[in-house]
């Protein structure tokens, strides 16, 4: 009976700091050419897609509260939704980065997506309490 080996894709790579340097950006532009430009545009779209979905799912009445407590719930729900949606977007972009070998690991993906989903859920719950 063999044990499942903990592979290196779960951890953040040791050279991950290099991914965010201008030198790496220049190397990627040279290596991938026009594909790198397309990849950057698609990454930006993926990053903002969860935010657009959050705004589509958010009830419009949540932005028109009539009481002070409703204003507070609406504001907190809005900020939690913003942070959560950006977190989900980061996780999705991380998965997309596999194509250019800049993946930050399974833990980064899972933590950012799960955290984002929880924050969005709490934000939508607070929107439901707006009176």
Residue 102 host element (H or E): none
Looking up tokens 């949540």, which residue turns up? Answer: 62
Kindly tell me the sign of the dihedral angle through the C-alpha atoms of 8, 9, 14, 18: positive
Q: Say how far residue 69 (Cα) sits from the centre of its chain.
A: 29
Give the pLDDT score at 49.
Answer: 95
Give the pLDDT score at 14.
Answer: 82
Give the pLDDT score at 2.
Answer: 47
Give the pLDDT score at 3.
Answer: 47
Query: Residue 130 and residue 127: Cα distance in Å, rounded?
Result: 5
Average pLDDT by consecutive 10-residue portion of the chain (131 residues)?
58 82 88 89 94 85 69 86 94 90 88 96 85 58
Phi, psi dihedral angles at 66 (to 5 degrees): -110, -10
């Amino acid at each position: 009976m063999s044990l499942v080996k903990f592979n290196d894709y779960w951890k953040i790579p040791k050279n991950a700091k290099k991914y965010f340097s201008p030198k790496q950006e220049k190397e990627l532009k040279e290596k991938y050419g026009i594909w790198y430009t397309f990849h950057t545009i698609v990454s930006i779209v993926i990053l903002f897609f969860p935010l657009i979905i959050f705004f589509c799912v958010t009830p419009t009445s949540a932005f028109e509260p009539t009481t002070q407590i409703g204003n507070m719930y609406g504001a907190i729900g809005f900020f939690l939704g913003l942070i959560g949606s950006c977190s989900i977007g980061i996780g999705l972009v991380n998965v997309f980065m596999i194509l250019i070998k800049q993946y930050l690991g399974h833990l980064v993906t899972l933590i950012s997506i799960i955290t984002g989903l929880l924050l969005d859920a709490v934000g939508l719950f607070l929107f439901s309490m707006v009176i």
